[in-house]
A and B are shown apart, each in its own frame.
Chain A
Amino acid sequence: MICQNCNKNEANMHMKRIVNGRAAEVHLCKDCARSLGYGEAFTGFGFGGLLGELLSKGEQIGSSVRCSFCGKSFEEIAGDGKMGCAECYNIFYDKLLPSLNRIHGKASYSGSRPQKEASVELRIEELKVALKAAVEQQNFELAATLRDRINDILAEGGEQ
């Protein structure tokens, strides 16, 4: 597919826009997407192209490790540019770091923090909701992970 802006390069970024009363997809090459201001967070346009490209340039992919919480592999993350869950950041941190540095610089976080660590009850309550959803859908792998987490938290709580 050819870029709709320059009509020259291959379009590798596909973004949703509202055009004449319809949600339409716009196809742009990487350069046009940047010059039109698409290289930013929160556009809600999906960053698959950008992150995928960053990742595949430097990082070694090709490993079969999967996230223990959501089951996504690093290869899949590099493919669609989307992290699967919070735990993915933990598991794939080293592989992700070069890309994070390229996107954000070597900065470390200095913004606001959650008021207090979420209470044990709250965390367990949410995990139970997630567990129920996983069981209803027969996603037993996720259900097992969630159950382990609940048990871990309960065990920690018990020790204190």
Chain B
Amino acid sequence: MGAKWYLGTGAQNDVVINTSIHIARNIRSFPFPSRLSLPEKLKVNSVIRDASEAIDDYSFNYAEMKMLSQSEVVSLAERHLVSPEFASSRDGRALLLTEDEAVSVMLNEEDHIRLQVMYAGFALDEAFKTASSIEEQLSRKLDFAFDDKLGYLTQDPVALGTGMKASVVLHLPALVSTSQITKLIATVSKLGLSLRGSYGEGAAAKGDMFRLSNTITLGISELAAIENLKSIALQIAAQERAAREEIFKTPVIEDRIYRAYGVLKYARMIDTNEFMELISLVRLGAVKGLIKMDCASIEALMIHMQPATISLSVDRPLDRVERDKLRAAMVRQNLG
């Protein structure tokens, strides 16, 4: 494995884990994926693959999902390179992926093209620039379904318009522990954005990781949507920092952080939920300088500790007990 996007250290990384841009496009001369037969899907894949070969500055590896094992595909989903929906059925689907995994293109998911660009830290402008450059180069080779009034047409009318979704993943342990998160989720939804667990849902979000995204795709330009997201993300980050100040006024949080570190360092078995809960505290401790661990390796660990990704690392299916043992061993090793 070469260097991946999540191994970098990005801007504002005390709170912002990563930034992503998704763009949906369809080719006008083919029906949408749910109306395509298997041979037609393969045709669509090859048309898009050909177009991708002409893209400057980015070279893609191409994989038919049929050729991968179920664990490999689920692991792609755990690494957020494909959606769970994409992983759930492999027929007629394909993936274009750059070596550093920063750019992935799902073919024949909900739309013919679902482009994703993901960067570490707070990098909305950079990610949007990359995504639009790739989209623009594809549009020179492919006739995208577009309507003057409705914008880019998608299989699901909810996504039509810009067909773009921008997101930042935020680490919000202090807003969760001070119970401000539920109110924040409600407030944000009134501003045309959504805030939801990045691993798991709602207030039960694992690892206190939340994804903030724009939800409006019609009547607002891509740049305006990104500016809106940017300003709300920065406000939430500021709120999180203030809440951290507050919780660090008592010694309780420091104790919890060191206990979490102790458990991760010595446990012989650990399941995903407990791991996520503890690693969230350790990340908070690392940001505060209590624990010597850099954020990039914590993010990498979170990704590598997800169930299918663990099973994949030993190349055979594991039962729960084996997996929890292996996870504890790998965590110990990573914590040195």
Chain A residues near B (Cβ < 8 Å)? 16-18, 20-23, 25, 35-37, 40-47, 50-51, 69-72, 80-86, 89-90, 96, 99-100, 103-105, 107-115, 118, 122-123, 126-127, 129-130, 132-134, 136-137, 139, 142, 146, 149
Cα–Cα, bound, A20→B311 (Å): 11
- Residue of B26, B43, B110, B139 touching A44 (CB-CB under 8 A): B110
Question: Can you sample 8 A-B contacts with CB below 8 Å?
Answer: A18-B308, A23-B77, A44-B83, A70-B31, A84-B31, A85-B31, A118-B142, A130-B43
Tell me, in angstroms, the Cα distance from A126 to B43 when the chains sit together: 10
In whole angstroms, how far apart are the Cα atoms of A46 and B159 in the complex? 11
Q: Which of B136, B157, B218 contacts A115 (CB 8 A)?
A: B136
Complex: A143 Cα to B253 Cα, angstroms: 67
Interfacial residues of chain B within 161-209, with CB under 8 A of chain A in the complex:
161-162, 164-165, 185, 194-197, 201-202
Once bound together, how far apart are the Cα atoms of A41 and B144, in whole Å?
19
CA distance A112 to B163 in the complex (A): 10
B77–A18 touching, CB < 8 Å: yes
Q: Tell which of B149, B157, B222 has the most Cβ of chain A within 10 Å.
A: B157
Residues of B contacting A130 with CB < 8 Å? Answer: 29-30, 40, 43
* Contact (Cβ within 8 A) B146 A23: no
- Bound complex: CA of A44 vs CA of B311, how far in Å? 25
Contact B141 A105, beta carbon cutoff 8 Å:
no
Highest count of chain B CB atoms <10 Å: which of A46, A47, A83, A86: A86
With A16-B84, A40-B194, A85-B32 already in contact, the answer to whether A21 and B74 are too (CB < 8 A) is yes
Smallest CB-CB separation from A69: which chain B residue?
B31
Q: A18-B308, A85-B31, A111-B222 given as contacts; is B213 within 8 A of A40 (CB)? A: yes
B94 is an interface residue with CB less than 8 A from chain A = no
Q: Is B262 engaged at the interface, CB distance under 8 Å to the other chain?
A: no
> Given known contacts A99-B157, A105-B218, A126-B142, is B39 in contact with A84 (CB within 8 Å)?
no
Is B32 within 8 A of A82, CB to CB? Answer: yes
Contacting residues, chain B, for A127 (C-beta < 8 A): 29
Contacts A41-B217, A110-B220, A114-B146; A126 near B27 (Cβ below 8 A): yes
Kindly list 9 other residue pairs between chains A and B, CB separation below 8 angstroms, not including A42-B213, A44-B114, A51-B156.
Answer: A21-B308, A25-B88, A37-B201, A82-B156, A111-B222, A112-B222, A122-B141, A129-B43, A130-B29
Residue B9, interface by CB 8 Å: no
- The yes or no answer to B14 lying at the interface (CB within 8 A) is no
Any chain A CB within 8 A of the CB of B270?
Answer: no
Which residues of chain A are within 8 angstroms of B238 by Cβ–Cβ distance? Answer: none
Cα distance, A111 to B23, chains bound together (Å) = 13
